[in-house]
Each structure stands twice: as C-alpha cells, then as structure tokens.
Structure 1
C-alpha cells in the first residue's frame, strides 16, 4: 500500500426524481475501497443536503457534551476521554468536548482496519485539530505512530487524554502531542518524513480558517499521503468554500455511508478522502 492508487474505477448512474446523475467512483490513496469522486462542489452540496437531509438526523447522537468523560471501545481497548464542558462558553473554543464527527471518524478507522480497507499499523499519522484526542488515540491503538496537534491553548487537555489512554505497554502504536497553527510552518519532525495519513474531524468550520487549513494540508501531503477528513453537515456555504479551495490541489472523494461503522454512522456526518492532484497526473 505504499504506492498511490488514484484510478477511475467505475461510473454508475444514480436515478433522481428529475434527472439522472452520473456518479464516478475512484480509488484514492491508501483507502482500499472506491469513493464517489467530487467533481462539482455546488452539486456535491446539493446532493448532500437533498439526499442525506442532515437536518432530519439527530444531532449529538453519540456524544454527551455536558459530561466530564466520554467512554468508547476501540481495537479491544476501553478509551476514556476527558471533556471540559465549561470551556464551550469561551468564544472560539470548540475542541474541549467531543462531536459526532470525531466518533464517526474514529470508529470508521477501526471498521476500515478490521475490514482490511486501511492499514495503519507502523504508519506515520498526523491529526489536525485533535481537540480531546479521540481520533488520534484510536489510530495509535491500531498501531500507528500518531502526532496529535492543536492550538497552544488546547494542548493541556489533549495531553491528559493521550497520556491516560496510550500509556499501557500493550499499545501497538504511539501518540505524541505537538502544537500546530494552520497557515504556519509545522515542527520539522512533523514534515520529515511526511506523514502517510493526515486525519481531521470537524476541521471545516469557518470560511476564515479554510485558506490556512488548505495551506497546511498542502505542506503535510506528499506522494504517499492520504488525507481523511470528517465533518458534521451544519453550514453548506463553508463546506462548499472548502471543497472549491481544496480541489485546486487535491482530488477528493466521498466515502459511502455504507462503508462507515454500522453502529456509528449519521447522515449529519460526511467523510472525505483527499490526495494531491500531482500524484494522479
């Protein structure tokens, strides 16, 4: 799985009420299943909100943001994540509690590894906007060497959760915490060598942050890097803006809901796979 697989696999026709929509499916990066190629951001948004109808799905289906602790099992380990509900009252702070997109992404990683669609063991992984650290901890439990990153004022809670969940001697991988401000140069250890995987949940949340996020993704991605991002469908304009910006440098595919963990999927959450376009060319 060291070599990128970025090939058009098949094209299908999805029948809608008014017109037929051609769906091109591709294999991207190190994900072993085909994904739906995103070709037109505005069409992608229309289909997401029209077909998945996220507003009719329950928000916070897998999290309890008023609780001080969230418990979840993954890869045979019991994970306990500390939350700071009181920090939600601080303007601009979102990484103090868990959101559904983090649960969905973490359990997707476990499900994909178990189904042999992903191989994370021994791989270098960087997580963006780690927040409470659940996704990065799950990746480490799969055997990955994970660097969990966030803004300087978010690192204390993040480090507590990493230390609490990855200190056991029977953990296959590892987790370290590092500061990373999008739009600025990362620590050299993050870039050398470039990661095999970049992960992120709920990192697409404001138009102001999109340019810096895409810039950081470009810095972190090389020939063998696969990006996996999850997001909760709240603001269609922000997601469309991100897709437009990212598609200049990345090929993007949407993971089918059927490929998500059967007990941890939601029409409010979407997962994308991204790889740099120059790899395809």
Structure 2
C-alpha cells in the first residue's frame, strides 16, 4: 500500500476482528471500532483476547445499544470516556409514503399479525399462541422470512397462516403498513447472552410503520424505553394481543413518536459528530 498512488486513510471505522492488522498497515490513521453484538454468544470465549486488543487500539469504541455498552465496560475493559452509543434507527422516508397493499396478503383477514425476519429465531409456541389469542379465532398471521419446518407445518394446519418466504427490505415496508400488530417473539430457550447485546432493528422498523408491537424481553429495553408490549409467556400473550388491538391507535401513535426520535438521519449525525471529534483529537 505504501508504494501505491492511493492516499492513506485519515480514519478507519470497522466492526472489529482485525486485531492490530489495520493499525499496523496505517499507523497514522485514527480508528473507530464498532461492536454490534455480544460476539462471545456465537463464537465462544476464544476471541475475547482479540476483542480486547481491538478496543485497546481504537481511538473510540461504538456500541449499538446501552446494554451492550455496559457489557463492554464490564467484560472488555473499555473505558467509559472512549465508549459511545450510536443505536439503531429506521428509514422514516421509506415508511412515510403509503404503499399499495401486496397482492399476496389481500385475502388475509384483519386483524393481521406479522412476523418479519429469520423464522429460525422465532419461538414457535409463542407464535402459535399469538394466532390463537386473536378474538373469536378471526384474523390472520403473516410470516415473512426464510421458511422453516415449524412454520410450514403451522401453515399446512391453519388456513389463517400466510407463509410468504423472504422479502426485500424495500418490499417489507408495504407489508408492515398493511398489518395490524407486529410480533417480535424470539426463542427464549437460546442462551440469555444472545439477547444481552441486542438492540433489535425490527423494533424501529415496526415503529416507523406505526405498528403496535408485542415482543419478548431484551436487556436493551431497560435502557431504551419504548411502547412495545413485553411478554414472557403464553399467558402474557393472551392479554397482550387483545390489548394491542383495543389500544391500537394509541400504541400506533406512541410507536411513531418513538420512530421519529430514532431515525437513521439522527444516527448519521451522531456518527458524523463522532468522526469529527476523533479526527480533531478532541476526545
């Protein structure tokens, strides 16, 4: 690289994992390392040393949520004064424009429950009971995401289930706009560490669509209050589904207010401000 005609970077922003490699390749560049999850929950503890080295060699460390920031200070020894939270957001512009109702859900009766994302991460029991909690066995369940066996079985047994497969992020907007309640019911048998650092993007997208949302717990919710109805059990769902429907307009308004406080435009301004501070050496 030193012999090339390409200019050297002033700043490198990575999500970590390279140790000292980039620091050694570009010794004069400032460095921001972003952490997007508790990596140990998926890769095991072996990378702890690499993570710590990444953060030590960074001029600033960014976490996508306050729960994750707390973890980094406690478990990865990141100093508070070089740790910054730049959270998730939503593309408010994409959701502000009303979209046509997708043809493949026009036959789905209201009220419509919707799951959007990896069905492999969903809790099949809670999803099934959410459908059963609809009043008088009415309504429908829209499942958007890569198909899995339990979802195929549920769709084969119940005509109210519309299993659509994957959709692009752009197309997903129209589906959310034409549903009534968002579901974020994640498999709680997974390691609790997997939920420790998550700041779920789907919450912000459903908020931007004005969807009343029912969610299993996330540690981030303790730091970032939001209008989602949090459930821990089948019994909780039996109460949450009617509440989401009967208070739909109030919950929708509160979700939109939450989204308006958390746009990607806001997140860009926060990131831009941090970059300027790092480059100026004012941290």
| Category of TM-score, reference length = shorter chain | 0.3 to 0.5
Larger helix percent: 2
Larger strand percent: 1
Q: Over alpha carbons, which structure has the higher Rg? A: 2
TM-score (norm 1): 0.34
